Structure 1
Amino acid sequence: MDVNFRKIDIDQYDEDVLNEEELYEPDRRDPSQVLNDTKAKSAAVRSALSKGDTVGALSTVLDQAPYGPNVEEAKNLNLQTLVSILNTTKATEIPGIVKALSTDAQDTLMKYLYKGMALPGWGDVSGSVLLGWHEKLTEAAGVGCIVRAMTDRRTV
């Protein structure tokens, strides 16, 4: 009995196969440029936080978030920068900050919240911080923000 038929990749013959690069517009920047941009954003965020501008810092880190292949280091750095903002923000300030963000920034923040929750042991941030931000973000942006974050193929 011939069982080699199970080792044939039949997807190579299918014209309707959906490739990852066809799902979204790729980032035009090369990975080294993305990392340099993320490092510059991290410095700008620290500066904004030292001035007490939490909304500006959050907007900076969420603007042009790194996505796509070969930019894992930039993604991790951006996540660490965002976590530092989340940890230093008082719970009473969160609703005003979330409402001040654009819809795209709110969707990106939701992606980062879910990425933080997916980390083993939740990384450097406590669960109550992430869940608190999630609650306030859902109140301000609605359930549509969750749906958009879950269905967008550009992962942060």
Structure 2
Amino acid sequence: MSLTQFLENPPYEEQPQEKQRIYEQVINSLSDTADNKMKDTCNNLDTDQQDALMRYIYKGLENCDNSLKLLKWHGALSEVAGLGCIMRVMSEKRKRVL
């Protein structure tokens, strides 16, 4: 599956093992993406997909999974999606758990 496909249907309601498997695939996909392709990738996502990506980025940073690459993704996504993406993810009343 591609990154976009994972972001279309985030596994909010899946079992923990399935969530972990998908999380690892998303992090691997992010890690394998060239730095110069990040902004283009973010531009091709809709708002819901951008928010899901931001959730994965924050989870990866929380777990210290390839933090340097994730910080680059955070910068690219923030540039494309704006601060609204960060605010939506950080202020959700019902926390969506990936």
Question: TM-score under structure 1 normalisation?
Answer: 0.58
Which residue matches 1:61? 6
Secondary structure of residue in 2 paired with 1:92: helix
Instruction: Give CA deviations for 1:18-60 in whole Å, capped at 9, x if unaligned.
Output: xxxxxxxxxxxxxxxxxxxxxxxxxxx2xxxxxxxxxxx1110
Task: Provide the C-alpha distance between the structure 2 equivalents of 1:72 and 1:151, rounded to a whole number of angstroms.
Answer: 23
Which residue matches 1:118? 62
Kindly provide the amino acid, as one letter, of the partner of residue 151 in structure 1.
S
Unaligned runs of 5+ in 2: none
Aligned-pair CA distance for 1:72: 1.1
Which residue matches 1:98? 42
Which residue matches 1:88? 32
Asked if 1:154 is matched to 2:61, the reply is: no
Kindly provide the amino acid, as one letter, of the partner of residue 58 in structure 1.
L
Give the alignment's Cα RMSD to 1 decimal: 1.2
Task: Provide the C-alpha distance between the structure 2 equivalents of 1:92 and 1:65, rounded to a whole number of angstroms.
Answer: 25
Task: Provide the C-alpha distance between the structure 2 equivalents of 1:140 and 1:65, rounded to a whole number of angstroms.
Answer: 20
Secondary structure of residue in 2 paired with 1:83: helix
Task: Provide the C-alpha distance between the structure 1 equivalents of 2:86 and 2:18, rounded to a whole number of angstroms.
Answer: 24
Unaligned runs of 5+ in 1: 1-44, 46-56
Which of 1 and 2 has greater Rg?
1
Task: Provide the C-alpha distance between the structure 2 equivalents of 1:117 and 1:127, rounded to a whole number of angstroms.
Answer: 6
Task: Provide the C-alpha distance between the structure 1 equivalents of 2:6 and 2:23, rounded to a whole number of angstroms.
Answer: 9
Question: TM-score under structure 2 normalisation?
Answer: 0.91
Identity fraction in percent: 33
Structure 1 runs (4+) deviating above 3 angstroms are none
Size of the aligned set, in residue pairs, is 96
Task: Provide the C-alpha distance between the structure 1 equivalents of 2:81 and 2:8, rounded to a whole number of angstroms.
Answer: 17
Task: Provide the C-alpha distance between the structure 1 equivalents of 2:75 and 2:85, rounded to a whole number of angstroms.
Answer: 12
Which residue matches 1:129? 69
Question: Does 1 or 2 have the higher relative contact order (CA < 8 Å, sep 6+)?
Answer: 2
